[in-house]
Structure 1
């Protein structure tokens, strides 16, 4: 891996907007949900890694534990709330269920904020090795999902679901 540093301007709003656009692609959404539901992956982390891949940046191997640590703060709350929301889906009125979804989205955004703070505290390097999204899918034993994430992202590729 190159020791050349990369200087990126990552803000919560930039990552959030990228995530909304990228996740709106049907195949990406399905692969993300599969990664989350079947391989216990973190979609926000995957979206961040995809953003870094698109920027040609990578995280040093020794910094990976720090990234995972920053996720642990919000992941328990988020996954617990998600599970509760799913269990209550049939018994909640539609308006209350939509409010629960909105609250979950706010938790997702907070988790992305934690990730942005973490990444901005690291030294990023030029990527000349395998993409971060491939490494993450492989780490979760979901390497076959990488074929979806390997496609370059274009704002024009989004579709409304």
Structure 2
């Protein structure tokens, strides 16, 4: 089949709302955390890939490095902050810990913004091949987690 160039309407708010609702599915959340903690995967990238899969859209194979590169700006900061927050969990009040979680969410949203900006610069095609999420899980060695992501996302308004 020939590739069909497509245009999508990807905005930070659209991806963020999709992510919040999709991540709220217990099996998805558990699989995301496993991908992050056991396979060093990036949850925001996985959520973007799932959104693209839902749109039946893909970027070119040679652009994977660009997508990975756009994460580099925020990944080290987010990882360091996450480790600090986990360490503080048993040493600070619940309210301070909740504030730390909220700040981490803001860092996550900034990372999604970086991903959206990057994605909106790439040529996109209709995806006639395997899902991007499956390719990402396989790349990380976590293909067994794919079953948690294989189902279509719950009907989420304003996708």
DSSP 3-state at the match of 1:125: strand
Which residue in 2 is equivalent to 1:159? none
1:97-136 to structure 2, matched below 5 A, reads 97-136=97-136
**RMSD of aligned residue pairs (Cα, Å):** 1.0
Which residue in 1 is equivalent to 2:4? 4
Counterpart contact for 1:21–1:155, Cα < 8 Å? no
CA separation in 2, counterparts of 1:2 and 1:96?
54
Alignment gaps of 5+ in structure 1:
157-161
CA separation in 1, counterparts of 2:63 and 2:2?
15
CA separation in 2, counterparts of 1:33 and 1:93?
24
CA separation in 1, counterparts of 2:49 and 2:41?
12
CA separation in 2, counterparts of 1:152 and 1:6?
21
CA separation in 1, counterparts of 2:96 and 2:19?
25
Deviation for aligned residue 1:2: 3.8
TM-score by length of 2: 0.96
DSSP 3-state at the match of 1:155: coil
Aligned residues: 156
Distance 1:39 1:2, change over 3 A: farther
Distance 1:154 1:108, change over 3 A: same
TM-score by length of 1: 0.95
Which residue in 2 is equivalent to 1:147? 147
Distance 1:69 1:90, change over 3 A: same
CA separation in 1, counterparts of 2:153 and 2:47?
11
Deviation for aligned residue 1:154: 1.7
1:53-93 deviation per Cα after TM superposition (whole angstroms, max 9, x unaligned)? 00000110011000000001000000000000001100011
Alignment gaps of 5+ in structure 2:
none
Which residue in 1 is equivalent to 2:31? 31
